[in-house]
Amino acid sequence: RDGLSRRLEQRIEMPLADTDISVIAPRADNPPLLIIHDPDDPDTPYETSEEIVGIWPNAKLVTTKGLGRLAHYRLLRHRPALNAALEFISD
């Protein structure tokens, strides 16, 4: 396991500890963050998005309904998510 961690750190050119969202989020220089997530997504727990929004300054969570698995493919046709993204980047 140590060898794998070492190889990953070499590949990404930073310590793995620096990829921990709880370490990254409190930094003052983080940009605003928009997360669009569907609670029915079986691959990534919705609670993870809620946790990130809770610790990332200027983060916003937009919840979709009914997109479920592979939501990223359906997202481009989901008007409320598109409107939220457009509003986010125009602010």
Phi, psi of 59 (to 5 degrees): -100, 150
Pair (21, 61) in one structural domain: no
Determine the Cα–Cα distance for residues 69 and 43; give it in Å rounded to an integer: 7
Pair (26, 39) in one structural domain: no
Task: Give the pLDDT band of residue 20 (cuts 50, 70, 90).
Answer: confident
Pair (1, 40) in one structural domain: no
Task: Give the pLDDT band of residue 35 (cuts 50, 70, 90).
Answer: very high
The count of domains in the chain is 2
Asked if residue 29 lies in contact with residue 43, where contact means CB atoms within 8 angstroms, the answer is: no
Pair (89, 66) in one structural domain: yes
| Mean pLDDT, range 73-90, rounded to an integer | 87
Determine the Cα–Cα distance for residues 58 and 30; give it in Å rounded to an integer: 9
The residue segments making up the domain with residue 15 are: 1-30
Pair (90, 58) in one structural domain: yes
Pair (24, 35) in one structural domain: no
Determine the Cα–Cα distance for residues 11 and 28; give it in Å rounded to an integer: 26
